[in-house]
Structure 1
Amino acid sequence: MRATAIIPVKRFEAAKRRLSGTGAASHRPALARAMLADVLLGLNEARLLDRIVVVTGEPEAVEVAEEAGVEHLVDPDDRGHVEAAAIGVADAIARGDECVALIAGDCPLLEGFELDRELDAQAPGVALIPDRHGTGTNGLILTPPDAIEPAFGPDSRERHLARAREAGVRCRIATVPSMALDLDTGEDLRQLVLALAADPERAPATSAALRQLGETGG
């Protein structure tokens, strides 16, 4: 089964708003870049992906994609994750891909072997990879690529389940521990720091960015 990972990425400067009220807010663009680099590092370790594509209107995200040796598509309007995902899905369909994995760009702990496990188990339909709270969506595996229309954003898990029901396609919840933690709040940041302290070899770019944040008093 030909599978492509699609990572929709919005502008790094806009991304920092999700950490407003924390000391890291002003450093969010640097963190966003670092986390994307680590997501691509993990995806490059997956054996069952044929292509990895970043869809973005952010020039620095294009640089990160090129550094990682993966493809990129331009999101000219930069309207958000849903629109960027649609660009990637349309490209995958045009290329004859049978499956796409839509992956959040702020899950820096991602392990390629865990995604491989879910790709290997994938049947026609949808696999939903929830966040650690069980309410959001950090990944969607779609077979075929247009099995449902993505609906990312707060509380997206229920929207995706509803869309699968409406489309009459099977939807399973896929437990992927390394993709459970994304960075939306100060508490998420604290959990990420703890995870990296326990395993310093993981997410090297994010670890370096967080060290810089500490050095600058963030």
Structure 2
Amino acid sequence: MTYHPIDKLCVVIPMKSPQRAKQRLANRLSDSGREKLALSLFDNTLAFFQQHFPMLDVLVVSESLDVLNLAQSYQTNTLFDDGAKGLNGALDFACDWVTKSGYDSQLIVPSDIAVLDPEEINLLIHAAQKAQVVIAVAKDGGTNALLTSPPDAIDFEYGKNSAAAHKHHARSKQLICRSVHFTNLALDIDHSEDLEAAVLRQPERFKNWCSCFSSAVKEHHYA
């Protein structure tokens, strides 16, 4: 059987409140620095899909009204979730909206991918033509993109080793599943080494964060 998710595909971007984002960088960036980094990555994600995939509808789910207002400036759909049930709960809520809105497929993309590559997204969508579940594996075994046809094909289990968990869910339902490994899509910014890797890949874009990072490291060292 061949699947064509591009026909009615919705991109879902979950985004927590910027004030709570990037906690694992707390010893490297200030509170305001982490907030600005999270918003910068999110804004870049919105701009990426608007520029390279204008034919795809986008849904942003967040507990932050500021985040939803920013998303609306890119003409995306928005959904408020209070965050009480965490990321998986927010994605269940979003998936219900996507399904009821008549989409055949759903592509979940995190808001903090350092470098988004149109070719990788195209390859991901192409892989879904012959699979009901496609998992873009993160550098740490997590899930950095998840394309499901139908949107609720599997349960969401984001967290440690989520790529393996999502693959298990797909196989338990006898669904065709593919795991893909992409250089750029594997890199989300969670830790200091991720930020360092992003600086190496796109120095012009991330050089300001590099200087903030260096200053924060010095302040932490001499504190």
TM-score (norm: length of structure 1): 0.86
What is the aligned counterpart of 1:6 among 8, 12, 24? Answer: 12
* Structure 2 partner of 1:63: 69
Query: How far apart are the structure 2 equivalents of 1:120 and 1:10?
Result: 29
Query: How far apart are the structure 1 equivalents of 2:95 and 2:189?
Result: 24
* Structure 2 partner of 1:118: 124
* Structure 2 partner of 1:84: 90
Which shows bigger deviation, 120-129 or 179-188?
120-129
Query: How far apart are the structure 2 equivalents of 1:187 and 1:211?
Result: 11
Amino acid at match of 1:127: V
Deviations 1:180-202 (A, max 9, x none): 110111111111111111xx3xx
- How far is 1:150 from its partner? 1.2
What is the aligned counterpart of 1:132 among 139, 158, 162? Answer: 139
After superposing on structure 2, the runs of 4+ consecutive aligned residues of structure 1 that deviate more than 6 Å are: none
Amino acid at match of 1:24: L
Identical aligned residues as a percent: 24
Query: How far apart are the structure 2 equivalents of 1:142 and 1:101?
Result: 7
**2:16 touches 2:63 (CA, 8 Å); kept in 1?**
yes
- How far is 1:175 from its partner? 2.8
What is the aligned counterpart of 2:99 among 77, 93, 104? Answer: 93
Deviations 1:93-131 (A, max 9, x none): 101101100111110311234212321331341000011
Residues matched between the structures, number: 208
- How far is 1:49 from its partner? 4.9
**Structure 2 CA distance for partners of 1:143 and 1:190, relative to 1, 3 Å:** same
Gaps of 5+ in 1: none
* Structure 1 partner of 2:212: 213
* Structure 1 partner of 2:167: 161
**1:33 touches 1:64 (CA, 8 Å); kept in 2?**
no
Amino acid at match of 1:126: V
Secondary structure, counterpart of 1:140 in structure 2? strand
Gaps of 5+ in 2: 1-6, 217-223
* Structure 1 partner of 2:29: 24
Amino acid at match of 2:64: E
* Structure 2 partner of 1:36: 42
The answer as to 2:172 corresponding to 1:173 is no
**1:55 touches 1:84 (CA, 8 Å); kept in 2?**
yes
Which shows bigger deviation, 55-64 or 97-106?
55-64
TM-score (norm: length of structure 2): 0.84
Query: How far apart are the structure 2 equivalents of 1:78 and 1:193?
Result: 34
Matches within 5 A, 1:40-55: 40-47=46-53, 49-55=55-61
Structure whose alpha-carbon radius of gyration is higher: 2
**Structure 2 CA distance for partners of 1:190 and 1:110, relative to 1, 3 Å:** same
**1:48 touches 1:116 (CA, 8 Å); kept in 2?**
no
